[in-house]
Amino acid sequence: MITKLESGVLPAKEEWESHMHLLKAQTKSSTKAKVQAALESAVKQRIPNEKCGLLLSGGVDSSFIALLLKKFDANLTCYSVGLKDSPDIIAAKKAADLLGLKLICKEFSISEAGELIKRTAQILPHVDVVSIGVGSVVVAAAELAKAEGVSILFAGLGSEEIFAGYERHVKAKDVNEECWNGLTNVIWGRDFTRDTAIATKMKFTVRVPFLDDEVIKSAMGIPGDQKIKGEDKKVILREIAEEMGLPKEIAWRKKKAAQYGSGFDKALETLAKQKKMQKSEYVKRLI
C-alpha cells in the first residue's frame, strides 16, 4: 500500500483505512529486537542507486533514518531549513557534525519565509495554519534538493503514530488504540494529501520507512505502556536509536513540530500581525 504513496500516488482513503484494519488484524506481540530489524530492513530496501536526500531536523526520527542510511552506504545529502538560528537548524547542524553527514542548510528571513509560504499555499489542496507551516518546510527542503539534482527524499512520517509521539497518546486510555486511530483515520487527510500534492508539483518522490507494513506491525505489537514513560514519548524508538549508536542528546531530544522547529510558524505570526490579522485569517487570504 505505501508503495503507492512513495511513487507519488495518493491511495484512496477507503483503501488506506481497509489496509490499516488488515495490518491491525495481523499484528502480534512484538519485541524491541523485531522493531529494530524491521526498521533496518525498511530503510535498506528503499535506498536508491542514485543520490537521495533527507530532511534533517535533528530529532530522533530523521536522525535515526540518517544513521541507518549512512550504515548502508547511501549516497545521502541532508537538508535543513528554517529561520536564522531556529531550533531545528541548530539541532540539525549538531546531528550532522556528530554523525558525519553532508548537510545543506538554508536560513530564511521573515520576508523570504513569506514568499515561501505563498508558494506553498498555491500547492496545497487544503490550506490552514498547520498545513502551511509544515508544508512550507517540505517545499523549502524539496527546493534545496532539486537544486542538487536530488529527486528522492526520505521522511520520518508515521513515527509519531506508531511509537506514540503526540500528547493525545499520553491522554488516551489505550495508547495503542489511539495509535491505530491516528494511522487509520488521521494521517491520510492530515499528511498524505499534503505531501502527495507537494511531491507531484515539485516532481520528487518520498520514501517513508516508518510506514512500511512490517515496521507498523512490529511497532504496534509493542505494549503502549512501553512507548510512553513519564514525560518521555516514543521510548522504544529512542532506546533502539541510542543502542544503535545515535548520540543520547539526539535520541532523547524533545519533539518540536516542524512548523515550530523551523520558525515558520513564528514567521507566519509576524506576517499576520503586520497585516493586523490573525494567522488563520492571513492564511485564508493567501488563496
What is the DSSP track for 220-239? HTS-GGGT-BTTB-SHHHHH
| Cell digits of residue 45 | 530496501
List the domain boundaries for the chain: 2-286
Least Cα distance to 46 among 215, 247, 198, 219 occurs for 215
pLDDT value of position 34: 98
Q: Over the range 71-95, which residues count as b (16 or more CB within 10 Å of their CB) and which as e?
A: eeebebbbbbbbbeebbbbebbebb
- Higher confidence at residue 86 or residue 3? 86
Superfamily in which the 2-286 domain is placed by CATH: HUPs (3.40.50.620)
Q: How far apart are CA 58 and CA 61, in angstroms?
A: 8
> Which candidate, 169, 181, 177, places its Cα nearest to that of 228?
169
Residue 280 has pLDDT above 90, yes or no: yes
For residues 18-28, b (16+ Cβ closer than 10 Å) or e, as one string?
ebbeebbeebe
pLDDT attached to residue 8:
85
Over 80: is that where the pLDDT of 1 sits? Answer: no
What confidence score (pLDDT) does residue 3 get?
A: 85
55-111 pLDDT tens trace: 999 999 999 999 999 999 999 999 999 999 999 999 999 999 999 999 999 999 999
What is the band of 5 on the pLDDT scale with cuts at 50, 70, 90? confident
- Distance between CA 54 and CA 261 in Å, rounded? 16
pLDDT, average across residues 138-165: 96
Residue 16 has a pLDDT of: 96
Mean pLDDT of the chain: 96
CA pair distance 226, 248, nearest whole angstrom: 18
Q: Are 38 and 46 in contact (CB under 8 A)?
A: no
Q: Is the pLDDT of residue 2 over 90?
A: no
pLDDT in the model for residue 7: 86
